[in-house]
């Protein structure tokens, strides 16, 4: 290869080198088009959420991602990012709205700050178990809740169910009276605050990452939590008592960026909806079984499990249901549809 000497390198030589480099790049590009046609290029789509890989939401996301890649022969790939790797809940919502990421799974509680009707999912003692909550996802009111998210730049595609909510505590909880004046980590939502205040406890909002150290330093006495999170993040190492209150369901929403969704073909939109519906059903069955296995894991790890008399809790639940069904027509509709089942 000839070595170019700076002293005799002329403008014409420079133009010839640039032309050769450009020609080389064009040739490589055209060759790539022949080997990998543009319509066949794989697109890696980001999906962000905030829970650990052991959590059912992550497993459902991976199940969906695998199905989409298979059905499109690799044309559409989804990379699932757990544990807030793409951002916290607020940041993930903003990224969806801007089109920076196409997919996310976030708690219904986060979305209820934008769409009040979503609070209907947290009516205390509306559901006995995950399968009942999962069946409610097919109701017309539940689908209407998803549709309302579009005004916020989000396309609600389906639901994703974590386990029922219980109370994990530093000291034993044998009755509701044991929670009076106790600091309990509750999801930052009006209905959670109303519920725990009505029970005499002091609801405290903290990010997931701050729960374990707050239990260790006695800044918290208890946690309102599902068993997937307990198993995944090992909160029982700081709080070894589990009271099976079973007071609320805790769904998430699988959603897409409206800005990104609008650029898809109808066929791709329909395929994504179909595959996620299959993943949603798969996830409900998985979580129903996990409720049993998670409880056994915690017992084997030394957690003391208490079955409470829930009459006092259920009496207060009636007051909370009356308040929220009376303030939002869609919450009332949802409650009425679920109670008919």
DSSP, res 167: E
pLDDT of 288 reads 97
Say what the pLDDT of residue 241 is.
98
Residue by residue, DSSP assigns 314-330 as HHHHHHHHHHHHTT-HH
d(Cα 49, Cα 197) in Å, to the nearest integer? 29
Kindly tell me if the per-residue pLDDT of 244 is higher than 60: yes
Q: How confident is the model at residue 19 (pLDDT cuts 50, 70, 90)?
A: low
Crossing angle between the packed helical segments 190-198 and 311-325, to the nearest 10 degrees: 140
Domains, the chain, ranges and CATH? 39-162+251-300 (3.40.190.170)
DSSP 54: T
Average pLDDT score over the chain: 90
What's the whole-number mean pLDDT along residues 276-287?
Answer: 98
Please spell the DSSP secondary structure of 233-257, one letter per residue: HTGGGT--EEE-------EEEEEEE
Tens digits of residue pLDDT in 208-239: 999 999 999 999 999 999 999 999 999 999 99
What is the token pair recorded at 219? 């800044």
Q: CA-to-CA distance for 310 and 318, rounded, in angstroms? A: 13
Give the per-residue pLDDT at 326: 98
Mean local confidence (pLDDT), 259-278: 98
Using CA atoms, how far apart are residues 236 and 221, in angstroms rounded to an integer?
A: 12
- The average pLDDT across 302-309 equals 96
The order of strands in the sheet holding 222-226 is: 202-204, 183-185, 222-226, 165-169, 241-243, 304-306
Residue 104 pLDDT greater than 50, yes or no: yes
Instruction: Check whether 269 has a pLDDT greater than 60.
Output: yes
Give the pLDDT score at 340: 82
pLDDT at residue 189 in the model: 94
Buried residues in 31-67 as b, exposed as e (16+ CB within 10 A):
eeeeeeeeeeeeeebbbbbbbbeebbbbbbbbbbbeb
267: pLDDT strictly greater than 60: yes
Distances (CA, A) of 137 to 265, 284, 301: 26, 10, 33
Strand order across the beta sheet in which 154-161 lies: 76-81, 43-48, 103-107, 251-257, 154-161
- Residue 126 pLDDT: 97
The pLDDT, as a whole number, for residue 43 is 81
Cβ contact 161:284 at 8 Å: yes
State the virtual CA torsion across 257, 334, 141, 97 in degrees, nearest 10.
-10
Q: What is the pLDDT of residues 155-182, one digit of tens each?
A: 999 999 999 999 999 999 999 999 999 9
Model confidence at 258: pLDDT above 90: yes
pTM of the model: 0.86
Q: How far apart are CA 164 and CA 130, in angstroms?
A: 7
pLDDT tops 70 at residue 112 = yes
Helix (H) or strand (E) holding 46: strand 43-48
Helices first, then strands: H and E counts in the chain: 13, 11
């Amino acid at each position: 290869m000839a070595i170019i000497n700076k002293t005799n390198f002329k403008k014409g030589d420079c133009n010839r080198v640039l032309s050769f480099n450009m020609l080389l790049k064009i040739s490589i590009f055209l060759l790539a088009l022949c080997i990998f046609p543009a319509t066949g290029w794989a697109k890696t789509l980001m999906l962000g959420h905030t829970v650990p890989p052991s959590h059912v939401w992550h497993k459902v996301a991976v199940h969906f991602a695998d199905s989409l890649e298979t059905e499109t022969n690799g044309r559409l790939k989804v990379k699932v990012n757990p544990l807030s790797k793409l951002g916290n809940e607020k940041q993930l919502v903003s990224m969806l709205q801007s089109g920076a990421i196409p997919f996310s799974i976030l708690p219904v509680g986060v979305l209820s700050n934008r769409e009040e009707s979503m609070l209907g999912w947290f009516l205390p003692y509306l559901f006995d178990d995950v399968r009942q909550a999962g069946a409610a996802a097919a109701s017309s009111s539940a689908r209407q809740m998803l549709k309302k998210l579009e005004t916020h730049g989000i396309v609600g595609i389906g639901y994703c169910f974590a386990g029922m909510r219980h109370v994990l505590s530093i000291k034993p909880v044998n009755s509701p009276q044991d929670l009076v004046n106790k600091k309990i980590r509750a999801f930052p939502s009006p209905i959670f605050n109303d519920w725990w205040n009505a029970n005499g406890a002091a609801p405290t909002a903290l990010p997931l990452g701050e729960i374990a150290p707050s239990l260790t330093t006695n800044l918290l006495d208890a946690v309102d939590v599902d068993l997937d999170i307990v198993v995944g993040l090992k909160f029982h190492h700081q709080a070894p008592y589990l009271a099976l209150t079973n007071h609320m369901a805790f769904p998430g929403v699988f959603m897409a960026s409206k800005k990104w969704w609008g650029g898809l073909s109808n066929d791709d939109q329909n395929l994504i909806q179909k595959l996620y519906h299959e993943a949603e059903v798969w996830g409900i069955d998985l979580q129903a079984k996990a409720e049993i296995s998670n409880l056994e894991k915690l017992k084997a790890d030394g957690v003391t499990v208490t079955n409470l008399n829930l009459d006092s809790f259920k009496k207060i639940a009636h007051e909370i249901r009356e308040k929220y069904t009376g303030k939002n027509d869609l919450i009332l509709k949802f409650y009425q549809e679920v109670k008919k089942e």
